Structure 1
Amino acid sequence: MRGTVMLIDDEAMIRQSTEQWLKMAGFEVLSFDNAEAGLAALDEQFPGIIVSDVKMPGMDGLTLMGEAQLRIPELPVILITGHGDVDMAIKAMREGAYDFIEKPFVPERLVETIHRACEKRRLMLENLRLQQNLRSQTGLDAKIIGTSPAIQRLKRELLKCAELDTNVIIYGETGTGKELVAQCLHEFSARSGNNFVPLNCGAIPEALIESELFGHEAGAFTSADKQRVGKFEYANGGTLFLDEIEIMPVNLQVKLLRALQEGVIERLGSNKPIPVDLRVVAASKVDLKTDEAFRQDLYYRLNVTQLQIPPLREREEDIVLLFEHYARHAASQHERELRRATAQDIQNLEQYNWPGNVRELRNVAIRYALDGALPVADILYPQEPMLAAEAEESTLPLAAQVANFESKVIGASLSRHQGNIKAVLEELDLPRRTLNQKMAKYGLNRADFLTGEE
Structure 2
Amino acid sequence: MTEPTLVLAVDDSMTQVTGMQLLLQQHGYEVMTAANGRLALEAVRERRPGLVVTDLQMPEMDGLQLVAALREEFSGLPIILTTAKGSEEIAAKALRLGASSYVPKRTLNEDLVPTIERMMSMVDVAEHVAKPSTLLTSIEMELSLGNDDMLVPNVIARLEQPLSELGLLDDTMQMQISTALDEALINAIIHGNLEISTELRYQGTDEQFREIVRERQRQTPYRNRSVTIKMAANREAVSFTIRDEGPGFDVSSLPDPTDFSNLGECGGRGLLLINAFMDEVVHQDNGNEIVMSKKKADALPEND
**Structure 1 length-normalised TM:** 0.29
The structure in which a higher percent of residues are strand is 2
**Structure 2 length-normalised TM:** 0.41
Q: Quick check: which has more Rg, 1 or 2?
A: 1
